[in-house]
């Protein structure tokens, strides 16, 4: 089972890039973030024509997450929204059980964590509270002993080697000690960072800002992650970054990250 995560930064603007990626890489599951549209505005027909079922949690102009699953796999037990705060109206979490014949089920979530900037605003406490809610939910999923993949744009740079210029991010919500500690707390619940488990090299990035020539200078950061529960990590075969998609015309500032799990 090939599972990809991609912050498309507006699905309406990148649907052509997405369909091209589906045709090129043929992922079995795709976790999308930052749709920037409501459910009815999602280009469902184009994605279904490519052979994928779609589940969305949209929001007008902001946020939004989706799960795409390639036939003959199917989704069930859909959860929209992260448990722990009934008043949270931001569209940042969708989860489903993905299964099919001769394929062991995997519970997959698409997550769009808050950016958290500016740090001296309510946005940063919301980010930390969201991370704590995610940790508690991840713990509950792990206790159930299922294969779980928590994939998405975490807006967290875990370690200095995950940024081309760590000093430039010292005061940013993505790299503050509290953010990194909250990410490590997820790992401490027994989850594995799929990309780092397969490739420890420095210089693996998933995001390049549109400003200051970041792409041309390779001044990137790694903020898109797939975290695997122990049963999922036991099935991990490989993980990679599809960096070339950042070079497309009018690209997203993020690129897909893909992990492959054995089916049996």
For 169, counting Cβ atoms within 10 Å of its Cβ (0-12 exposed, 13-18 middle, 19+ buried), the class is middle
Those residues whose C-beta lies under 8 Å from the C-beta of residue 89, and which sit 6 or more positions away, are none
pLDDT digits (tens, 9 = 90+) for 177-233: 999 999 999 999 999 999 999 999 999 999 999 998 999 999 999 999 999 999 999
Between CA 231 and CA 42 the distance in angstroms is: 33
pLDDT of 87? 96
Other C-beta atoms within 10 Å of 123: how many? Answer: 14
**Residue 39 in tokens:** 């459910």
CATH topology of domain 2-261: Deoxyribonuclease I; Chain A (3.60.10)
pLDDT digits (tens), the chain, 264 positions: 999 999 999 999 999 999 999 999 999 999 999 999 999 999 999 999 999 999 999 999 999 999 999 999 999 999 999 999 999 999 999 999 999 998 999 999 999 999 999 999 999 999 999 999 999 999 999 999 999 999 999 999 999 999 999 999 999 999 999 999 999 999 999 999 999 999 999 999 999 999 989 999 999 999 999 999 999 999 999 999 999 999 999 999 999 999 999 987
- Per DSSP bridges, beta strands 103-112 and 148-153 are parallel
């Amino acid at each position: 089972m090939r599972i990809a995560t991609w912050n498309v930064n507006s699905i309406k603007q990148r649907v052509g890039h997405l369909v091209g990626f589906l045709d090129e890489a043929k992922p079995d599951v795709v976790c999308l973030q930052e749709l920037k549209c409501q459910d009815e505005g999602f280009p469902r027909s184009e994605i279904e024509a490519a052979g994928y079922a779609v589940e969305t949690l949209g929001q007008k102009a902001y946020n939004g997450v989706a799960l795409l699953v390639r036939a003959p796999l199917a989704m069930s037990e859909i959860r929209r929204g992260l448990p722990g705060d009934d008043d949270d109206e931001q569209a940042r979490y969708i989860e489903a059980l993905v299964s099919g014949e001769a394929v062991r089920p995997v519970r997959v979530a698409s997550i769009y964590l808050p950016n958290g900037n500016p740090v001296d605003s309510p946005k940063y406490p919301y980010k930390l509270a969201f991370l704590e809610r995610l940790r508690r939910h991840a713990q509950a999923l792990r206790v159930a002993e299922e294969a779980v993949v928590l994939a998405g744009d975490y807006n967290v740079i875990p370690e200095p080697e995950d940024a081309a210029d760590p000093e430039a991010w010292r005061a940013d919500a993505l790299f503050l000690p509290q953010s990194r500690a909250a990410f490590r707390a997820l790992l401490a619940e027994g989850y594995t960072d799929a990309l780092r488990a397969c490739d420890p090299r420095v210089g693996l990035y998933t995001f390049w800002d549109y400003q200051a020539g970041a792409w041309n200078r390779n001044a990137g950061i790694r903020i898109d992650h797939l975290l695997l529960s122990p049963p999922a990590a036991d099935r991990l075969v490989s993980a990679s970054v599809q960096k070339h998609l950042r070079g497309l015309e009018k690209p997203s500032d993020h690129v897909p990250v893909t992990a492959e799990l054995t089916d049996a």
